[in-house]
């Protein structure tokens, strides 16, 4: 079964299970119950760690928040990649058993009786006969190499599992301590009726898995002045996403100093042989670190230059603004938690955010063309490769489809349903980020009974538009299988 089919089946399955459980549970209040499509949308959003929302988060009960937490955890890239390693470990074990069976099947009486038997004269031609021991030694070498690979993958599974659990444990402890120490943050949760422990676990899982959901309607806007909380979350954002490969490599190196030295060295020196997407070569990891902080620096400088005195940062002192802008720029790739209203920031910054959301998490300044470093990619077949379009081409198609389904709203409400806002929503769903410009009742043609809500812009879309965005979220979560598409198309 092709990995793409395995992945899409997995995410469809957990999304459907999540929808069924969310539907079976009661929301926080009986006055409002989300529609089935909105519940499925939310389940897909949590499973694909996209954090796109069509209903307010405070609608969900504590039990439903726990369900969303589980969906985000098992849908996160670190967890799903660990499951993939488990399957690879089992396949390696089967291969080793087959090799050992082949070696054992070589009969010992087939070995040559003497050194002169290796060359036989038959009429006018000379035939070189390879000794059976050669095949036996070759098979033994392959078996030994396979055992090294299997043991290294086994060790890597333990490292990834430990990395996952330790980061979550640290995050939950730090957030809980902060809520206990800082009364203002605790007061916010109590006023909203949100359980402190649920908030700590939910936010940690959401942040580390790069989802971006927060139990509050306002996301992290309500905590914009709690700079300490933002500083706790920033490392979680980086370690669970863009800096995961170098952090994993560092963890393997440190553990190799104390335990499993051979396996550790094998993982570090032969990362290509492992076939684990997130275990990058040393040079690639260094370039990745430079790229990540370079992008953050560019965004931070431009944001401060254009929006330092804007309405988006009103009420914050200089220190809070600095931490808030840093938090916001780190979230563009690809977590999606926000401390500002994206609808009122400079259009130039919004376009920059769109570019950052589109870029894959392991983008580097300097392209690495070494074919060995791309050995983990598996070809889907020449015919399929030639038919594939580039990811940008698919996104253009999705944006066009949304513009078609929402064409009446674009005519009647051009301020909210602008092409830029639609582009932000679609690219955010593709990048599994969750940024949204929201919906404002300050319309060109005011609508009676309009009420501002704290959910994404897609919450005001038609059912057809929401279904398209669900497809975009799945497409974005599986982008690793389509990144090489479009190479058959040459622009001259």
pLDDT in tens, 289-333: 999 999 999 999 999 999 999 999 999 999 999 999 999 999 999
> Alpha carbon of 60 to those of 32, 119, 329, 474: distances in Å?
10, 80, 28, 23
Q: pTM (2 decimals)? A: 0.87
Q: How many CB atoms lie within 10 A of CB 312?
A: 24
Lowest mean pLDDT among 57-71, 181-195, 329-343, 478-492: 478-492
Residues 6+ apart with CB under 8 A from 447: 413, 441
Identify which of 114, 117, 108 has the alpha carbon closest to the alpha carbon of residue 136. 108
pLDDT at 80: 96
- Please check the confidence at residue 275 and state whether its pLDDT lies above 60: yes
Element (H, E) at 362: none
Question: Residue 214 — very low, low, confident or very high, per pLDDT cuts 50/70/90?
Answer: very high
Distance, in Å, from the CA atom of 461 to the CA atom of 466, rounded to the nearest integer, reads 6
Mean pLDDT value across residues 467-477: 97
For CA atoms 326, 480, 456, 209, the dihedral sign is negative
In this predicted structure, which of 41-45, 67-71, 407-411 has the lowest mean pLDDT? 407-411
Choose among 217, 203, 209, 212: nearest CA to 175.
203
**pLDDT band of 90, cuts 50, 70, 90:** confident
**Which residue is it, tokens 């038997």?**
117
Q: How far apart are CA 77 and CA 209, in angstroms?
A: 7
Beta strands (DSSP E) in 69-131 are 119-122, 125-128
What per-residue confidence (pLDDT) applies to 4? 87
DSSP single-letter state for residue 441: S
Task: Give the separation between CA 482 and CA 8, rounded to whole angstroms.
Answer: 13
Please state the rounded mean pLDDT for residues 373-395.
60
Could you tell me the two tokens for 331?
A: 């979230």
- Lowest mean pLDDT: which of 160-169, 206-215, 273-282? 273-282
Rounded to an integer, what distance in angstroms lies between the CA atom of residue 245 and that of residue 81? 12
Cβ atoms of 308 and 321 closer than 8 Å: yes
Residue 144, pLDDT score: 58
Does position 381 have pLDDT exceeding 70, yes or no? no
Residue 24 has pLDDT above 50, yes or no: yes
Confidence check: pLDDT of 93 > 80: no
* Domains of the chain, residue spans: 163-374, 387-481
| 267-294 average pLDDT score | 90
Which of 69-78, 134-143, 170-179, 230-239 has the weakest average pLDDT? 134-143
The confidence score (pLDDT) of residue 483 equals 73
Q: Helices in 183-269 by DSSP H: which ranges? A: 183-192, 196-208, 227-239, 244-256, 261-269
CA 310 vs. chain centroid, Å, equals 31
Tell me the mean pLDDT in the region 193-217: 97
Spatial separation of the C-alpha atoms in residues 313 and 125, rounded to whole Å: 88
Q: List the one residue out of 24, 15, 28, 23 whose CA is nearest residue 56.
A: 28
- Average pLDDT of span 417-438: 96
Please determine, for residue 128, whether its predicted confidence score (pLDDT) is greater than 60: no
pLDDT for 100 equals 57
Segment among 139-143, 287-291, 456-460 with least mean pLDDT: 139-143
Residue 160 CA to residue 166 CA, distance in Å, equals 10
**H/E element, 219:** none
How far apart are the C-alpha atoms of 252 and 264, rounded to whole Å?
6
Determine which of 58-67, 173-182, 253-262 has the lowest per-residue pLDDT on average.
253-262
pLDDT value of residue 448: 75
CB atoms within 10 A of CB 155: 20
Q: What pLDDT, on the 0 to 100 scale, is given for residue 252?
A: 95
Question: For residue 366, what pLDDT band results from cuts at 50, 70 and 90?
Answer: low
Compute how many other C-beta atoms are within 10 angstroms of the C-beta atom of residue 28: 16
Tokens in use for 47? 């499973």
How many CA atoms does the CB half-sphere of 186 hold within 13 Å?
Answer: 9
Better-predicted residue by pLDDT, 339 or 119:
339
């Amino acid at each position: 079964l092709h990995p793409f089919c395995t992945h899409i089946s997995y995410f469809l399955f957990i999304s459907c299970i999540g929808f069924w459980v969310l539907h079976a549970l009661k929301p926080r209040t009986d006055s409002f119950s989300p529609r089935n499509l909105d519940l499925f949308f939310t389940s897909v959003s949590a499973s694909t760690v996209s954090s796109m929302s069509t209903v307010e988060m405070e609608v969900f009960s504590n039990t439903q928040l726990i369900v969303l937490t589980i969906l985000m955890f098992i849908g996160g890239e670190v967890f799903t990649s660990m499951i993939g390693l488990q399957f690879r470990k089992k396949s390696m074990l089967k291969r080793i058993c087959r090799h050992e069976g082949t070696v054992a099947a070589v009969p010992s009486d087939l070995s040559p009786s003497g050194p002169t038997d290796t060359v036989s004269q038959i009429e006018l031609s000379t035939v070189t006969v390879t000794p059976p021991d050669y095949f036996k030694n070759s098979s033994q070498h392959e078996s030994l190499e396979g055992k090294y690979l299997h043991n290294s993958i086994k060790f890597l599974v333990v490292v990834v599992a430990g990395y996952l659990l330790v980061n979550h444990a640290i995050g939950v402890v730090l957030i809980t301590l902060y809520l206990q120490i800082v009364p203002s943050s605790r007061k916010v949760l109590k006023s909203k009726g949100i359980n402190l422990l649920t908030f700590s676990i939910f936010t940690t899982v959401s942040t580390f898995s790069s989802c971006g959901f927060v139990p509050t309607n306002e996301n992290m806007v309500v905590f914009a002045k709690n700079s300490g909380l933002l500083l706790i979350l920033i490392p979680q954002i980086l370690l669970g996403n863009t800096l995961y490969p170098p952090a994993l490599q560092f963890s393997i190196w440190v553990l190799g100093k104390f335990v499993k030295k051979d396996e550790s060295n094998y993982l570090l020196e032969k990362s290509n042989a492992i076939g684990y997407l997130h275990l990058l070569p040393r040079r690639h990891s260094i370039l990745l670190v430079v790229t990540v902080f370079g992008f953050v620096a560019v965004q931070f400088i431009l944001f401060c230059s254009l929006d330092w005195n804007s309405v988006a940062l009103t009420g914050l002192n200089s220190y809070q603004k600095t931490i808030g802008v840093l938090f916001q720029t780190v979230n563009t790739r690809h977590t999606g938690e926000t401390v500002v209203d994206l609808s009122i920031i400079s259009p130039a910054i919004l376009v920059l955010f769109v570019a950052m959301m589109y870029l894959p998490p392991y983008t580097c300044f300097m392209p690495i063309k070494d074919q060995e470093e791309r050995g983990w990619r598996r070809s889907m077949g020449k015919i399929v490769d030639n038919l594939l379009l580039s990811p940008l081409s698919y996104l253009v198609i999705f944006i066009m489809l949304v513009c078609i389904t929402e064409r009446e709203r674009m005519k009647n409400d051009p301020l909210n349903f602008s092409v830029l806002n639609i582009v932000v929503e679609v690219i955010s769903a593709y990048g599994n980020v969750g940024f949204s410009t929201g919906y404002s009742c300050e319309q060109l043609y005011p609508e009676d009974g309009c009420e501002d809500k704290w959910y994404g812009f897609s919450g005001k879309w038609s059912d057809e538009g929401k279904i398209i965005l669900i497809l975009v979220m799945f497409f974005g979560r599986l982008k690793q299988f389509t990144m090489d598409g479009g190479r058959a198309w040459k622009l001259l």
